[in-house]
Structure 1
Amino acid sequence: MQIFKFALAGAFCAGIEFISFFILIDFFKLEYLVANVISIIIAVTINYVLSRAFVFQKSRYSKTNEMLSFFFFSLLALLLNQFILWFLVDIIKLDVRLCKAIAIAMVAFFSYVTKKHIVFKA
């Protein structure tokens, strides 16, 4: 059940991340790596609230340590996402929309494992 809840919250946040990314590059004309950081920050903030309330209700850490840990691993995920996106767009020369979807999918497993086994470990 927890994996289903994580997938549901993750899919919702991935949708927010994907949509905000394209709004930032298509309408605001931001460079794609800048737009990526902003869209991830938006999605991670929403994901923390959903993860805390809906997916992982218990943690062995204080809320402050839990939040710091959550954002630390989210920062690592952001860096991984940035690298994947840059590599696929600038080196492999794929479409930025396809690359963003691939980056989100590749980082999702890392995010689940770190949140389940480190951040929200009961």
Structure 2
Amino acid sequence: MNLQSYVDIVNTRYKTGYSREHSYRSDLQTLISTIVPRYENGNVYINDTQYFADVPQTAWEFYIGGYQPAQKWLKDRKGRELNFEDILHYQKIIVALTETDKLMQEIDEVFSVNSTEETTA
């Protein structure tokens, strides 16, 4: 589905009186799923046939501030053909996010152990 198809559906429903509060939700979800990259079983699909394989879910869902860098980087390049350097850069982003998550877990573990030792001392 493209944007024009969605607008046509909305107009038809409006003209026929079939426009209720949630009558557009499934069509809008279909439209959104064709616009944004999607994560499925460790793969990040950038279109129907091309994807980045073996992407950890933690990297895909990782937040920095209010952003999810693995998703935002691709969304910012929507409609553009990714060149070889872009692909390498995205792979580096995934590695950096994965390693950052691992480090954060290690830090949390150290603080957890230290706070447990302090309360038992």
Task: Give TM-score, length-normalised by structure 1.
Answer: 0.30
| Larger helix fraction of residues | 1
Mark the structure with the bigger radius of gyration: 2
Greater length-normalized contact order (CA 8 Å, ≥ 6 residues apart) = 1
